[in-house]
Structure 1
């Protein structure tokens, strides 16, 4: 008999963001091995009674949308409404689960998804898995209002799954009470299904980029933890003398950084091209027109853009946050997030050595194929579910 899994998600497409993309990928790959019921929270101020809708249905996957339901820790409606929202949501899900034979419950994220998943696990006496993403463990662990709530949720789980070794280290360091219950199951990427493009000339011209100058890529929303200062130094010390471009595939709010006192002139058109897209085919083409990509995060979970870049046979320069993915000198260059000179030096090394770029890029793709493919991720999750479902 097929295993029945409930996946409670903070975000889910069409919502944008790394958690949304990862949740959809996980649900899709698991549905080939088991029945998956997905519940996610739509955004907006709640109107009672809350609405619940079956958004998608196939032979092995059902997607329920709950909402409007404001996600996150900061609730912009009166505090007394939060218990009411949680109560209605949990009661609906309990009624739903009585009609389905659920074997395991998986909270994909610790905030609202973790609360609901923990409640359902207690009521139904089912195994609970909690996936800790990068933002779950960073600043929340140092906020007195959040730390106790976070620990309570983490201790309710049979297993806490970190998306990479960096997040696992933060969990064990900040919450020693759960250190023996932390495991790592990395993300995967579907970008392996695309054949790599090794010649960038046509793609650079297509996106109005100079084919004779370096194009350095970054994929994601450029928030503070992504280390925008390192990219600013890169634009000043590498892109300016080479007439290159930083191709930022994601979001960059120039006004926000300017208001914070940053001199953003190098980020305002001369050396940076910002493209916001939700089309995965566009992301593949944009990555493929880059000579290499940079991910200098000071703190992060598993960056989907990093895996996608490597799957597209592009070398990466990254911080030690991703040292469990990128092998220094083999498929990329690993440096300290705070050593901006080393990041710039790595760019000069790759630009001056086309053969090294090609070799590292091919190694990177094979690294992803062997360790971060959807097949590997599915195998890891199925084995974990079955281990606890049998108990």
Structure 2
């Protein structure tokens, strides 16, 4: 089968490489000539376990090539970004999807299959994508087959989960669903869930909205517990002993191109019916400012004004800084007059070592749960002006003697000037 994948980002590239690995002739399309040149040379631009090796295998087999323009295929997969619009409810911007679709329309022929993997607002397939195709004289469900097949993978484990996770196939018609299911049958070993397009669209959005709402509850609990002088993390641990309770963990905010974006697509589609989702977004969006206010309190009596941030990514052990609350916290601290240093071993633009970033600093703020941050060496903290650490991700397991350690469980003790250790 010949497959053209448009968009070679965090989802499109792994998807394209997997199709190639399983014996299909794949052309991956991206607008960046530098990126496509690097891919054809076996070099990738994102951090993902196993991806480089699989790309090199696909190149060796002759099953993958990257290009800046689409080519004719049997199936077309669109995996381009869908950012928020700058409007009242931050609705879904389909401009990239429309552009990708227009680029493949000249290559379409009867009986081809078009699959949109990009996360989209409800009714995008029927109201936006289908009309663009039928304007070219095709009939969706009769001589062109159209489906929405959202990804549901964990960064850092994408190559495994694309194969083994259940896959939702949402066709415009039943025949569209069957055709798209046959495409993914090339490598998906997980359950194939056949659905209507609108069901698939809303299902993906609700998976991420559920988590966003749960995290908002945990973040609100952290604020409440800090105000009342109660250990929020202990409260969550005990509450989760209940067999039907699963509170998430509080943090510095919500980031990434899913949880921080997708709920708005639902909110924009039904604003009067979504007050809970809107409140959850407000709570999670408030967390960077909350973290900054806690940093200001911890630094109020320090002689220096240097703060060290550990991590800029929105989650641990990846290089993705999209919508990361850590980036917002960094900018807010700089605007507040702090001398900010950053240590992130997963972000190429950050070149300081742990020792260099901590030198003459009065406070470390952990914002990403990288495995490198579980044990903080004394070579870092010995260089500090004051040895204080605020762990917003509850990821640190050991620190050196004499380090004052705070997380959302004991942050309230900072007001009492109590030194605690782990």
Which bin holds the TM-score, normalised by the shorter protein? Answer: 0.3 to 0.5
| Higher RCO (Cα < 8 Å, 6 or more apart) | 1
Q: Which of the two has higher C-alpha Rg?
A: 2
Is the helix fraction higher in 1 or 2? 1
TM-score, normalised via structure 1 length: 0.36
